[in-house]
Each structure stands twice: as C-alpha cells, then as structure tokens.
Structure 1
C-alpha cells in the first residue's frame, strides 16, 4: 500500500492470514507449555464464553463430534472441564470450564508473548479502532432479508 490508497480484499486476506498464522503459532506454543494441544486449548477458550453442548463445540471448532469427545475426555481427566446435564434437555450434556480450566487458559494467554508484543505496539486509540473493525468484520451477523 502506498499513499492514501487502501488495501484491496486480497491484500487484507493476506494480512489476516499472516496475522492468524502468527497468533496460532504463539497460541499453540503457549498451549504446549501447559501440556495441551491447540485443540484442547481452543476448547477452553470457547468454553470461557459459557457452557456448550458437545455438538455445538464440534461445530464451533469445526471438528468431528467423535474428535470432540476425545478432546473433552482428556480435558475432563485433568479437571479443566466437567460435563453437566443441560437444564433444558436432560439427554444433552453441556461442557463447562472449571476454575482450574480458567486459570490454565489465563496462563496460556499470558504466555502469548509475540501476540502481546504486537498488540502492545498499538496505542489506546489504535486498539479501539482494531477492536471495532474486527467486531464489524467478523462478529456481527449479516442482516436477513
């Protein structure tokens, strides 16, 4: 990019790809330092937002339900998550992060030095702008017709 000309979609996609590769490399290394796979740590990250049924976790993490069962089994064995009956459907088990699981995901986030260093280079206004842009681009649901 030069001058006032903005980035086109292809350039933005390339920058997102490079940014996400750096983020996930940092995340994976931090997870490994806590003896977790990236998938296990991503599961904890998702559960930080609230309890979720196994099928919902599998959809969010784009993995097969049988893989999700193995991931949750290993996390549960370590005391990082627990299964609880759904309050609305007794046939469904929700996965809930434990206090220890929250502590571990906090440790992982704290060890993401490359990501933190990059974000620390931004001032408060730049952080707010980046947050707003990411939210607008990826978190808002498209309007229905």
Structure 2
C-alpha cells in the first residue's frame, strides 16, 4: 500500500464519504417503509435463504437477544416467520413472508434507483472500474 499519508487519508475520506452516502440512501428508503437499516439488511439476507437464528446473528454481527428482538419485530409486522429447523428441532430458521418479499422488492427498486442516480456522472468504463474495485476491496475484507 502507498505510504503517502495525504493519499491514504484521501482514500479513507473518500470511502467514508461513500459509506455515508450509501447509509443515507438506505436510511431514507427504510424510513419511507417504516424500516431501520438493520431491518432492511435482515430482509435483504432473507431474500434468497432461510438461515438459522444463529447464522442471522453472525451475519448481522448481533448477539442472541438483539437478533431475537429484531426477528420478533419483523414477525409482528408479518414480514418474516420462524420455522422449526430441519437440522435441529430445538432451533428455528427464519424466512421471508410474501408481504416481506413485496416490501423488499419495492425497497430494492428504490435503492437501485438512488444508487444509479449517485453514479450517473460516471462513464460506463468508470462504472465498470468501480464495480471491479469494490469487488476487490470486499474480497480483501471477507472474514
């Protein structure tokens, strides 16, 4: 990595500002649908899988009581449901309901629209470079 402190700070500032932009988009879309960012993340995870409560907690970096409360609130709204785990009859897997899927799809469409607007000033080549760089950065941070 470059040892130039000015360039390193510029990279940090740029990535933090980009993170703020994405968080602002997620927060705005979530608020429009009565969801917090963590609830958006929960529904996003459940779009294509039915994880156990333990897997959800690990993925969202939450403790057991926090994930239980999060799932309880989403379940009360009819967005998710618990099913007895086929692998452990004492545990539960969480799945998205049709109402949750509908809300997730609507929210995702809005997020895509806002993100596309944010990168509108980039050329196609710059967008492709951005995708490649993001994948590279994320590949370096996988736990």
TM-score normalised per structure 1:
0.79
Deviations 1:20-72 (A, max 9, x none): 11111111111111111222111111222412111222222222221111111
How far 1:140 moved relative to its partner?
5.9
Residue in 2 aligned with 1:28?
Answer: 27
Distance in 2 (alpha carbons) for counterparts of 1:102 and 1:123:
33
Distance in 2 (alpha carbons) for counterparts of 1:84 and 1:128:
40
Name the one with the larger helix percent.
2
TM-score normalised per structure 2:
0.80
**Root-mean-square deviation (Å):** 2.4
How far 1:114 moved relative to its partner?
4.1
Runs of 5+ unmatched residues, structure 2 = 1-5
119-128 vs 94-103, which moves further = 119-128
Distance in 2 (alpha carbons) for counterparts of 1:86 and 1:46:
17
4+ long deviations beyond 6 Å: none
Contact 1:52 1:96 in 2 (8 A): yes
Distance in 1 (alpha carbons) for counterparts of 2:141 and 2:16:
22
Runs of 5+ unmatched residues, structure 1 = 1-6
Is the alpha carbon distance of 1:119 and 1:100 closer, same or farther for their aligned partners in structure 2, counting shifts above 3 Å? farther
SS in 1 for 2:119: helix
